[in-house]
Amino acid sequence: MINGTRRLGGLALAAMMFAAACSSAGASPTLAPTATPAPATPTAAMVASAMPSVAPSATANPVAYTYRCSHGDNKTLSGAGATFPYPLYTKWAADYLVQCGVQVNYQSLGSGAGVKAFTANTVDFGASDAFLLDSEIAAVATNGTPVEIPVAFGADVVAYNLKGLSAPLKMNGDIIAGIFDGKITKWNDPAIAAANPGVTLPSTDVSVVHRSDGSGTTSIFTTYLTDVSTDWVNTVGKGDKTKSAGKTVTWPVGLGASGNEGVTQGINQTDGGVGYIELQYALANKIPFADVQNSSGAWITPSLASVTAAANLATYPADLRFNLANTPAAAGYPISGSTWLLAYQDLSKVMKSKDRANALVDYLWWAIHAGQAENPTLQYASIPATLLPLDEAAVKSITWGGTPLLP
Amino acid sequence: MAVEYLALLKPTSRARRFQANLIVFLAAVATLLAFVPLAAVAGYLVSQGAGVINLDFFTQDPPGDLSATGGGIRNAIAGTFEMAGLATVIAAPIGILIAIFNAEVGGRIGAAVRFFIDVLAALPSIVVGIFVYTLVVVAQGHFSGFAGSLALAIIMLPVIVISTEEMFRLLPRPIREGTRALGLTRWRTYLSVFIPTALSGIFTGLLLAISRAVGETAPLIFTSLGNNFFSTDMSEPMQALPLLIYRNALNSAYPAARDRAMGAALTLVAIVLLFNLLGRWLVASRRPGGRAGR
Amino acid sequence: MTAGKLSPSAIQDAPRRSMVRRRLREGDLLLRLVALVVTAGALAVIALMMFDSVRTAWPVFQNFGIIGFLTGQEWAPAFTVYGAWPFLYGTVLTGAIALIIAVPISVLIALMVTEILPPRIGQPVAIVVDLLAAVPSVVWGLWGLLVLVPVIRPFERDVAHSLGQVIPFLGPPTPGPSYFAAGLIIAMMIIPIVAAVTREVFASTPRLQREAVLALGGTRWDVVRSVVLPIGRTGLVAAILLGLGRAIGETIAVTMVVGNNPLVGGSIFSPGYTLASVIANEFNEATEPLHPEALIALGVVLLGLAIVVNGAGLIVRRRFERSAGRGR
């Protein structure tokens, strides 16, 4: 009863929010409107997923944040990394240009390239779907301490190209591991048949497509496989869990393609093709993807809702390095992942101008607040309410020679 | 040889006529086979990219929303010309001076330099990209249009040197020796006689070098990175047509972005063809005073 | 012809102009100096870059041994195992496929243009073939992946399931992107070069010998068989080597259609990898220990291959030019 009332209230509030957003024409370049605070963000997000056709503008921000634009003469920022959130970051860049007049140039080269560019300090911020490993943190020690800020959450789906199926296939961890380590070679394999009773599977060969570039999407996917399949760890990692999961692994079979786009292309082109791509790419290309069994035994369809459920952890570690793979959440999608923006804590060591440092923190602050409104339309979950204070603390911890840049 | 000639004394038999005709037939097939990919690529680009082309396409930048139609590739076209332009400014004087050096200093040193330039011409462009990345991008701490221009300049350099050298070599003897007889000094000779005479040939070499540089992707990946915005700042990352195509043409998730990339591909091929044909036309219409007679 | 501002009277005044002449000669020296400095400088910078690459890659060669690195079959950055063999294999195989396809076609085209067609038609045809070289690498890759690969896949499948059952080298798997697809695309890219050089070679066949054969009653094919081809043999070898040199260095087009699999594929239809494409794919993100150095080492190998093949091509070409000159 109480649940129903709360849900109704949430619905009404969200409806008012969206109505307000739709009526306001375009983003205003200054302060956000002081609307009434929304209920816990996960509820709003779940409701939002039920109304996918509504497009919130950049001003649909429920809390009264002020966005500083103290970039001075510096009107550009450059970042590089993950292809996973590329659609989101380009949308943010367009919105932020209107907001602050700063051009945020983001190039999607893959998480591996993002980490390398961040390490070599050839960009202002990096982006990666995998948090920095201890070795990577050690490697940047000369530049300073990295600050990792999770800003969005998405799903790696197992997409396939098979004709004649009327419903999504069901796959569990063993099946997925078997496909990608080459043990399952035909689609009508007994393991797949067992999980999909009543479905006539074609006898087509399984054609694996994986990433040829260092990829956070790969990292999310292989972390999941390492968690659920000892067979995977033995075949790909030679027993070593640190080798069977990561941005690059030694694939026993399959075609390598560049970026989420390349893998999508590869799956599309081959009958019997299968690969792992971000949810948005599968939806946009209308490629079928599998329902995956999570640790509670439920068959979960990848969606904004199931990712949000997985992203909602009880507690988050202070350094913000966490894994969503094989989530314990009952309704959570097991191959979910987070994506981080990477910056250095003391920008005076890595940037030449304080204006540029200010520009960066302003952008990061905007991204974790106003930017989040763009997440749902692009099928990314927003930062949960419990995580937001930690993200804010992370951005506020960025300094110029010891003095925090944000007041 | 003699035996073969004797064999030819036999009257042309049907078999030999057939052989001759067969060769003609095969050669015709081969030539047509070579046309097919060219026509196929051109046709494909036109079918995929022509739809996006309008005035806005050349005057606007890509929209931030990947799924939004409209917008254009202004930043990529501008970036391509900016970097090719700077690369020409760097490579042309150096290239011409090296060609002069080679012409003046013959013998072993000249041959060694020539060999080095030939090696440079054979260098895979990706290796050039790595060179410039290590020496410039990492040292400066950021990707930049300047690094991209430098990489393109290194790629253009051998083309310019080789074609300029060729031009000097083909200058008619009367001109070369006549200047010496008149007592002109070398530098005066070059400035007033050689270079103006060979100018159209040098220009052709420049055009061919530019058309090569404009189409290169690999060296730019590690140097200019790419930019979603229009930029004239050489110290910031810069967009270029090949980069835009490489990053977006396979993006089937966002047909609008993909279409823009196809339009960009069509534009790029048109630009390269233009420079190529321009260069050839210049060769064909060289001044009578400068014609060296091939 | 612009001969500067020297007039006959100026020359007559030469003895009085010794001071001026000395200053002009200094200008000469300046030119020589500038040319020398610029040349030496430019070449030094480039030599420095090459040397720096070798120095960076040296730990890899030390670690695995030069031969060990070149023959190492496993490329696993996660395990810090680096072997160049799959890429060397891929580079050579795709180059060979490209040559097998491109050389006969280029020779026939050259024959067409020089021997068969009248010059007025032959010239435009030659230009159109040369225009194949104007298509940028990224466009070839794009077209290759989106158009060519789907078109040839049925053909690949047929061959794999017929001949391929007998000859594993021509057998399955046939996912599409493969050594064969890459070889095909490279062939299209090198046809203009090989055809152009071969055209020059054939065009410089001595007229005397060509007409002698015709006078004896030979057909066009006799001319080709007994004069053009034998005399142009060396030049043809040069053309082939130059084409191969270009094939080795092709990066972007290849990386889009080769399949990007760092294993030695069993058949020409398997996905594979080449030296240039693995560098393009992995360099941007190489952060594991020795990974960037290993990629630069591959670059050094690529550089070495390019120098050897192109150098050989140039030497053969110079020798041909010398002998052809004599024949006239």
Residues of B in contact with C108 (CB under 8 A): 26-27, 29-31
Q: Is residue C43 part of a domain?
A: no
Partner residue opposite C287 with nearest CB, options A109, A116, A266? A116
Assess C271–A contact: CB distance below 8 Å, yes or no.
yes
CB contact under 8 A, C310 and B118: yes
Q: Which of residues 228-257 of A touch C (CB under 8 A)?
A: 238, 243, 246-251, 254-257
Q: What are phi and psi of B204, to 5 degrees?
A: -60, -45
Partner residue opposite C143 with nearest CB, options B5, B41, B187? B41
CB contact under 8 A, C31 and B273: no
Q: What's the CATH code of the domain at C215?
A: 1.10.3720.10
Q: What are phi and psi of A7, to 5 degrees?
A: -65, -40
| Domain A2-152+338-404 identical in fold to domain A156-311 | yes
Q: Is there a contact between C185 and C140 (Cβ–Cβ < 8 Å)? A: yes
Identity of the amino acid at B257: A
Give residue A42's pLDDT.
37
pTM: 0.82
**For chain B, which chains pass the contact test of at least 3 CB pairs under 8 Å?**
A, C
Q: Is residue C252 part of a domain?
A: yes
CB contact under 8 A, C281 and A213: yes
Dist CA C290 CA C59 (whole Å): 8
pLDDT tens column, B222-281 = 899 888 888 888 988 999 999 999 988 887 778 888 899 999 999 999 999 888 888 877
Q: Is residue C32 part of a domain?
A: no
What's the structural domain count of chain C?
1
Q: Is residue C316 part of a domain?
A: yes
Q: Is residue C321 part of a domain?
A: yes
Q: Is residue C298 part of a domain?
A: yes
CB contact under 8 A, A213 and C284: yes
Judge: domain A2-152+338-404, CATH 3.40.50.1820: no
Q: Where are the domains of chain A?
A: 2-152+338-404, 156-311
- Tokens (6 digits) for A11: 């619905």
C97 — pLDDT class (breaks 50, 70, 90): very high
Nearest C-alpha neighbor of C315 from the set B96, B111, B161:
B111
Dist CA C322 CA C203 (whole Å): 15
What lies within 8 Å, CB to CB, of C251 at 6+ separation is B124, B125, B126, B217, B218, C137, C276, C277, C279, C280
Give residue B264's pLDDT.
93
For residue C306, the enclosing domain spans: 69-327
Mean pLDDT of C242-257: 89
Residue with tokens 């000469």, as numbered in its chain: C28
C278 CA: distance to closest CA in chain B (Å): 11
pLDDT tens column, A45-98 = 333 333 333 333 344 445 567 788 888 888 889 999 988 888 899 889 989 999
Which value does ipTM take for this structure?
0.85
Q: Is residue C257 part of a domain?
A: yes
B60 CA: distance to closest CA in chain C (Å): 23
- Note down pLDDT in tens along chain A; length 407 residues: 444 444 443 344 334 433 333 333 333 333 333 333 333 333 333 333 333 333 333 444 455 677 888 888 888 899 999 888 888 998 899 899 998 999 999 998 888 889 989 998 999 999 999 899 888 999 899 999 999 999 999 999 999 999 888 899 999 999 999 999 999 999 999 999 999 998 999 988 899 999 888 788 899 999 999 999 999 999 998 888 888 888 888 898 888 888 888 898 889 888 899 999 988 888 888 899 999 999 999 999 999 999 999 998 888 988 899 988 888 888 999 999 999 999 999 999 998 889 999 999 999 999 999 999 999 988 899 999 999 999 999 999 999 988 888 87
Judge: domain A156-311, CATH 1.20.1730.10: no
Q: What is the DSSP string of A167-228?
A: SPPEE-HHHHHHHHTTS--BTT-HHHHHHSTT-----PBPEEEEESS--HHHHHHHHHHHHH
Assess C285–A contact: CB distance below 8 Å, yes or no.
yes
Q: Is residue C26 part of a domain?
A: no
